Amino acid sequence: MLLDIDLYGGQHLNLPRLISFPRLKILQLSEISVFRERNIQQLFSNCPVLEELCLKYCLLNHLNIISSTLKSLTFVSSLHMCMSDINIMIDAPNLISITVHDNIPQHLVVERFPSLVDADIHRMFTEPDVLIDVIPNFVKKLSNVKQLKLWDFIFEKLELADVLDTSFPTFNNLITLEVSFIKTQHVKSLFTFLRFSPNLESLVFGCVSCWDEVNEDALTLDVVPHCLLMHLKSIKFQDFEGQSKELDLVQLFLQNSRVLQTVIIEHSSVDSETRTKKDVEDLNKKIMEQLLMYKWASTECVINLSSSP
């Protein structure tokens, strides 16, 4: 019996009327064009035990995913190819993992994911003409997630839609949050999001961009999120350049995170080929001098700095 199908290669999906994959668990479509609603719905409905679905670089004009067996769902540059006047529905109550590296269309209907463990939406975006609440409404459906990866664009949309102060759910299960990229002007929105993540234990920054213009209060806290007071134990800063705003952000966490145990700072790979061991040592010294200027909220916190060029 067929358990895994991987269809690839710039072709139209044109299935026979009588087709069945009673034991198929993994389906991946790559660079496939699906123009007939019957074809895509027929394919899904005849995979009664499907657990993993992955769509990469597909051209779709209809998508309706309703499955109680689906556990993993991935979209890569496929949703944005859908026609603008169609509805896309996702109803998968037992979904465990979802990845969306895609342009979200206007008409997207998503049910809740009560069993969700991890979600990666760090490349989710929308076109300028799409309503600002499309992404916030999607993010709300992820409120049961335990591990979440997102990026600056998400915080921008949450801020513009003004949902963080009005109708945002609490992410009680969220333990690990990874922010792949964020501008300092959206750090305020990040901290507001953290107020809805009371049990967060681990926070990772892929890159903090310090080149945008910000107000003086951009790196200040009006309200300290509960997770900083009670649960946040580990923070990692990747691609760290040692800019003053980066250091201000680290300091902000150090001054407000009462149970923080570890801060890991990994230097940027830019100029790594010409950087000497002494350069790294000098940078580490500069960083520590800056961070030791203020009192830390946690007496148990240890800072681990990159030790190699």
**Tens digit of each residue's pLDDT, the chain (309 residues):** 678 988 887 667 777 777 889 999 999 999 888 766 667 777 888 899 999 999 999 887 778 899 999 999 999 998 866 555 566 889 999 999 999 999 888 888 899 899 999 999 988 988 888 889 999 999 999 999 999 999 999 999 999 888 887 789 999 999 999 999 999 999 999 999 999 999 999 999 999 998 877 777 888 898 999 999 999 999 999 999 889 999 999 999 999 999 999 999 998 877 667 778 888 889 899 999 999 998 999 999 999 997 655
Cβ neighbours of 215 (radius 10 Å)? 9
List, as one string, the DSSP characters of 145-156.
-SEEEE-HHHHH
Strands (E), 172-231: 176-179, 182-183, 202-205, 208-209
At residue 205, φ and ψ (nearest 5 deg) are -110, 120
Q: What is the pLDDT of residues 70-103, one digit of tens each?
A: 999 999 998 866 555 566 889 999 999 999 999 8
Q: Give me the helices (H) in 169-218, please.
A: 187-194
What per-residue confidence (pLDDT) applies to 184? Answer: 92
Structure tokens at 202: 């681990």
Whole-model pTM? Answer: 0.93
**Any residues with CB less than 8 A from the CB of 282 and at least 6 apart, and which?**
none
CB 250 within 8 A of CB 217: no
Structure tokens at 201: 């234990």
